[in-house]
Amino acid sequence: MLAFLGGTGPEGRGLAIRLALAGEEVVIGSRDAARASTAAEELLLLAPGARITGAANADAAAQADTIFLTFPYEGQRPTLETLGEALDGKIVVNVIAPMEFQRGRGAIALPVDAGSAAEESQLLLPGALVAAAFQNASAEELQEPGLIMEGDVVICSDHKAAKDRVMELTPKIPNLRPVDGGALANAKYVEQITPLLVNINRIYKIHAGIKIVGV
């Protein structure tokens, strides 16, 4: 089972419905269990027959073997400190790209002392197998199940099992291709591309992604 913590937001909902349509069993997590259940019901309207449920974050994490972190960066430390050892031994996929919006500049990347949100989550969860992925995938496009997406998903991790799991899940979303991005330390470069894509999207009114050529 896949759990999407903070899954009531656009990225969590988009990834959840896409992977549920591919046959995965998913649970939407939220600080508010009722809100998670409502989100699950809304997704089921778009994907009748899919296996989608909702639960509080801690309950969602307990049910799943692969956990996606899809909340804003400011929620990362308090959420993971609360869950703590409950995620030991589990694969944790960090989708977070720390950024903020500044007037006159648009989206900018936020500095992270650990190097990246993904590396910080590994420090907070020393017993988990953390991978970084999907930071550059458009939440808007993910939420349109009938839309064929285009682009690559760069996956960074220090754990082979985590990387292999995400490499397996990625192509279940049609036309998304997994690309091995090496060690978790490389996640900072992937995360920092996201504000650039957001700004390009605003300029051209598109949903830009990334494509690695020559692979």
User: What does the pLDDT average to over 161-183?
Assistant: 98
- The reply to whether 100 falls in a domain is yes
11-40 pLDDT, tens digit each: 999 999 999 999 999 999 999 999 999 999
**In what side-by-side order are the strands of the sheet with 129-132?**
52-56, 26-30, 2-5, 66-69, 91-94, 129-132, 151-157, 176-180
- The reply to whether 132 falls in a domain is yes
The residue range of the domain holding 59 is: 2-204
- Secondary element (H or E) of residue 176: strand 176-180
Whole-number Cα distances in Å, 121 to 148, 210, 215: 31, 24, 29
- The reply to whether 212 falls in a domain is no
133-144 pLDDT, tens digit each: 999 999 999 999
52-101 pLDDT, tens digit each: 999 999 999 999 999 999 999 999 999 999 998 999 999 999 999 999 99
Q: How many domains does the chain have?
A: 1
- Which CATH number fits the domain that encloses residue 36? 3.40.50.720
- The reply to whether 215 falls in a domain is no
- The reply to whether 20 falls in a domain is yes
Tokens of 9: 């937001």
- The reply to whether 191 falls in a domain is yes
Q: Report the amino acid identity of residue 106.
A: G
Ramachandran angles phi, psi of 147, nearest 5°: -90, 130
User: What does the pLDDT average to over 199-206?
Assistant: 96
Ramachandran angles phi, psi of 197, nearest 5°: -65, -40
Measured CA to CA, the distance from residue 27 to residue 60 in angstroms comes to 6
- The reply to whether 214 falls in a domain is no
pLDDT classification of 109: cutoffs 50, 70, 90? very high
Q: What is the pLDDT of residue 83?
A: 95
Measured CA to CA, the distance from residue 87 to residue 47 in angstroms comes to 29
Q: What is the pLDDT of residue 201?
A: 96
- The reply to whether 118 falls in a domain is yes
